[in-house]
Amino acid sequence: MTEISSDVIRGCNDTIILYCLLSEPSYGYEISKMIKTKSEGKYIIKETTLYSAFSRMEKNGYVESYSGEAEGTGKKRTYYRITDEGRKYYSEKCEEWTLTKEVIERFIEENSNGNY
Amino acid sequence: MTEISSDVIRGCNDTIILYCLLSEPSYGYEISKMIKTKSEGKYIIKETTLYSAFSRMEKNGYVESYSGEAEGTGKKRTYYRITDEGRKYYSEKCEEWTLTKEVIERFIEENSNGNY
DNA sequence: TATATTTACTACGACAGATGTAGTACGACA
DNA sequence: TGTCGTACTACATCTGTCGTAGTAAATATA
């Protein structure tokens, strides 16, 4: 059983996280759930990866954080909202992905049914 | 003009290089040319990236090196040959790529015609 | 003939992002 | 009472890429 390549994902975590913020703000725990669900359990982002991506992207102006409350309980959470810069970055990342994917696939041989 | 993502390629350089060795042994300079040609100039691998991949893969048993001569001139070159382990690794990497790609694409929105 | 470019590498250090480990804290549930 | 789920933060390590630099022989260009 093959697993996701964390070395490929590396270039895409920002994109994946920003995708989760496109329609509305969210917070760490929820985003990690979204990623798991959307990938049908195939990709489970590490907490440290996620939170360090948040701070990097906030520093770069792609997301903004604010403190909000959980519904029901008045417990605090840190929400993240994508900025205009972040949307721009996201769409550039999508283009970049498409181009990169096309290049890589020239070097991929599907089939190779164990013929080694 | 968008460029290749070196952070995505990161997970694929081994795969790309091994692909170039599938049919016959080759050496650094030639492989870098093959990559450039095959990608239509879209991906130009850095020398340091290439040679460090060689030594890493040799250490891991995916390739073997031997000293050969350039045709005509008797100049020495270091050739690399893919091993059986290397072929196995290559085909695993291809599977891994396919899976990873499928996951990532769930988070990619093509179109996004600048609507940010 | 002198010089620049191409070929064919090696060495070293910096850097970014992912990951492991650990720790905090609060609420629900058994 | 203790464990599990939620919601983080801090820190150190690892891996692979990349920049810089240097070497050296062969070939092309002026």
Structure confidence by residue, pLDDT tens digits, B43-88: 999 999 999 999 999 999 999 999 998 776 767 899 999 999 999 9
Separation in Å, CA of A85 to nearest CA in chain B: 8
Look at residue A114 and tell me whether its pLDDT is greater than 50.
Answer: no
DSSP SS3 for A12: coil
In whole angstroms, D17 C1' to A75 CA is 42
Sorted by sequence, the CB contacts under 8 Å of residue A112 that are 6+ apart come out as B90, B91, B94
Residues of B in contact with A101 (CB under 8 A): 8, 101
Res A60: pLDDT: 97
Is there a contact between B10 and B92 (Cβ–Cβ < 8 Å)? no
Helix/strand number for chain B, H first, E second: 5, 3
Question: What percent of chain B clears pLDDT 90, i.e. is strictly above it?
Answer: 82
Res B33: pLDDT: 97
Res A113: pLDDT: 52
Res A72: pLDDT: 67
B78-116 residue pLDDT tens: 999 999 999 999 999 999 999 999 999 999 997 655 444
Res B71: pLDDT: 73
Nearest nt by C1' to A75 Cα = C26
Sorted by sequence, the CB contacts under 8 Å of residue A78 that are 6+ apart come out as A27, A28, A65, A66, A67, A68
Report the interhelical angle of B28-38 vs B13-21 (nearest 10°): 100
Closest chain B residue to the Cα of A17, Cα to Cα: B107
A75-99 residue pLDDT tens: 889 999 999 999 999 999 999 999 9
Res A75: pLDDT: 80
Q: Strands B26-27, B76-82: parallel, antiparallel or unpaired by DSSP?
A: antiparallel
Residue at B78: amino acid letter: T
A27-72 residue pLDDT tens: 999 999 999 999 999 999 999 999 999 999 999 999 999 999 877 6
Res A69: pLDDT: 82
Chain centroid to Cα A99, Å, comes to 18
